[in-house]
Structure 1
Amino acid sequence: MSTHDVIIVGGSYAGMAAALQLVRARRRVLIIDAGKRRNQAAADSHGFLSQDGADPAEIARTARQQLQAYPTLTWVEDVALDASGTRDAFSVATAASGTFSARRLLLATGVSDELPSIDGIGERWGKSVFHCPYCHSYELDQGEIGVIAAVPMSIHQAQLLPEWGNVTFLLNEALELDAAAREELVARGLRIEATPIARIEGHADVVLADGRQLSFAGLFTASLNAPSTPIAQTLGCALMETPLGTQLQTSEAKETSVAGVFACGDVARMPHSVSLAVADGAWAGAQIHRTLVWPTAG
């Protein structure tokens, strides 16, 4: 079993950006990827310089094609099941391709999204229900926007979105607003709807428990996040709580609490977007390379 310099678990935007730095340094890199991009339901990507409006699947395909031109890259389409070891001697077991070893590990696994428990929200996630206003709000053409409360951070989301349209804040029994918060929201021009949501229909039509229907150009909500696989916890990597859930704790050099294990992208930073994931991955790749050049670094 040959040893790679780096195994990257997760071959989406952050993982590939990290890999690019490493293969350009002629390091032997293995990407293990299960092919489950978080934004696979989205038809277009916005806010990524030179790729504004592009199909996110095409961005990923192009990136992979460019990476595979480098002879030191190996790509395995498989599910990483487990990881163990210490710095300079890690191993990753997969569902179908066996076990691989590496000197360093990079976790770019992404996160899972726990959405509010509302009938119809899941199938519209990434299509007409979003989390990032910078990624999706402009295309709503200053129309009617609904914000579905889920966590305390939802108040900040609601306060921001009037930049892009007329906003209704749907409390859905998830939040209780104090007088100060309510006053601030009203001052921003928001309408506040306290009636619970029964379901979402059509494009983004919210049916309330009292039978009323509110139609929107798009809906926003703050999903709760957690690492998409338990591999980091198996390795003993420390977690940290954020306003939107749980992520991996990393240093400025993107190293986790376990020496030699690094993390980048949505699983290791917030907020989340393609451009931020790419930047985070590029930085992580360069920092991992530094520890390979100077073993006492990091």
Structure 2
Amino acid sequence: MKTTTSYDVIIIGGSYAGLSAAMALGRSLRKVLIIDSGQPCNRQTPHSHNFLTQDGETPAAIARKAKEQVLAYPTVTFLQDLVLEASSIDSGFEVLTQSDQSYRAQKLLLAFGIKDELPKTPGFAECWGISMIHCPYCHGYEFRGKKTGILATGDRAYHQAMLVSNLSDQVKIIVPEPSIFTPEQQEKLEKKGIRILDKEILEIRHEKGYLDSVQFTDGAEEIFDAIYADVPFSFPGTLVQNLGCKLADSGRIWVDQFQQTNIPGLYACGDCTTMMRSVASAVAAGNLTGAMINHALASERF
């Protein structure tokens, strides 16, 4: 039989952003339920960087330590399950999980990140997060001076090239179809010695996720140590659409400066709200969100 338990806050997503928010709330004695499916987007990434005190640690180790510290607060509960539905009710929100349990809370926080929609190119998925990477701040130092590719187009490719050119002088932009650069961008890329390869990738050759080379459909082959790839994304499930969340121009969930969505009482933080995808950014956003939710609860109950 389905049972319903009530909390002050339900957090959907128990990685860095969700755990950080839960810690702020747990330290304020709020009754919190974290629901997490156990499938973090960085599960293939061997090391996490650019986060003080944890530089070079594995993502799983950081999350494991964070979870241990958060659950030391007795008002915080962690549940491994998958949220299938979430809806607004008079008292706040109600969620239904895959195990056919329902939970209610006055406030709801979406911290479930995003799902990377990887191309079906052979070798791409196996390299994702290892040598097919997304962020020079997270991975760039480790591939400094290496043969580097940028798999993107237009302004996005130009922006990445600008950042990566400080890390390596062996940079090439791969565009699977003719890419439009402004004359100014084209001139700058040429001056920096950045070649544009108007080619379609056939296969990514690698050894346990570490790039060897890229085979193109025209038979050509290029050696790369790392490739920055701009891939599309989606949200897990249908919660964002069903709850009526407004989206930002980036396609992510729109939030105000206090991490509240357009739905009263519904908050969001982490990768589902920002293009700055890093552990440090997620932890900072979660900490702020937890404080803002606590402030809202205190204001309503005082």
TM-score by length of 1: 0.94
The alpha-carbon distance between structure 1 residues 141 and 157, as it changes in their structure 2 partners (threshold 3 A), is closer
SS state at 2:300 partner: coil
Shift of 1:114: 2.2
The alpha-carbon distance between structure 1 residues 258 and 186, as it changes in their structure 2 partners (threshold 3 A), is same
Structure 1: which 5+ residue stretches go unaligned?
A: none
Q: Deviations over 1:58-110 (max 9, x none)?
A: 00000011111111011111000001124742111000150001010000010
Q: Contact 1:145/1:216 (CA < 8 Å) preserved in 2?
A: yes
**Which residue of structure 2 lines up, in the alignment, with residue 270 of structure 1?**
275
Q: Deviations over 1:90-135 (max 9, x none)?
A: 1110001500010100000100112345332122100110000111
Distance 1:2 1:37 in 2: 26
Summarize the alignment of residues 121-140 of structure 1 with structure 2, pairs less than 5 Å apart. 121-140=124-143
* Residues 1:9 and 2:12 are matched in the alignment: yes
* Residues 1:49 and 2:57 are matched in the alignment: no
**Which residue of structure 2 lines up, in the alignment, with residue 240 of structure 1?**
248
Distance 2:78 2:154 in 1: 38
**Which residue of structure 2 lines up, in the alignment, with residue 31 of structure 1?**
34
**Which residue of structure 2 lines up, in the alignment, with residue 292 of structure 1?**
297
**Which residue of structure 2 lines up, in the alignment, with residue 186 of structure 1?**
190
Distance 1:147 1:176 in 2: 15
SS state at 1:36 partner: coil
RMSD: 1.7
Out of 75-84 and 170-179, give the one that drifted further.
170-179
**Which residue of structure 2 lines up, in the alignment, with residue 258 of structure 1?**
263
Q: Contact 1:112/1:225 (CA < 8 Å) preserved in 2?
A: yes
Distance 2:83 2:125 in 1: 26
Q: Deviations over 1:186-231 (max 9, x none)?
A: 2233122123222111232111222221111111111222322321
SS state at 2:264 partner: coil
Q: Contact 1:146/1:170 (CA < 8 Å) preserved in 2?
A: yes
SS state at 1:115 partner: coil
* Residues 1:167 and 2:171 are matched in the alignment: yes
Aligned residues: 294
Q: Contact 2:155/2:181 (CA < 8 Å) preserved in 1?
A: no
Summarize the alignment of residues 61-140 of structure 1 with structure 2, pairs less than 5 Å apart. 61-86=64-89, 88-96=91-99, 98-116=101-119, 118-140=121-143
Summarize the alignment of residues 192-211 of structure 1 with structure 2, pairs less than 5 Å apart. 192-202=196-206, 203-204=210-211, 205-211=213-219
Shift of 1:261: 0.4
What letter corresponds to residue 184 of structure 2 in structure 1?
A
Out of 68-77 and 80-89, give the one that drifted further.
80-89
The alpha-carbon distance between structure 1 residues 37 and 231, as it changes in their structure 2 partners (threshold 3 A), is same
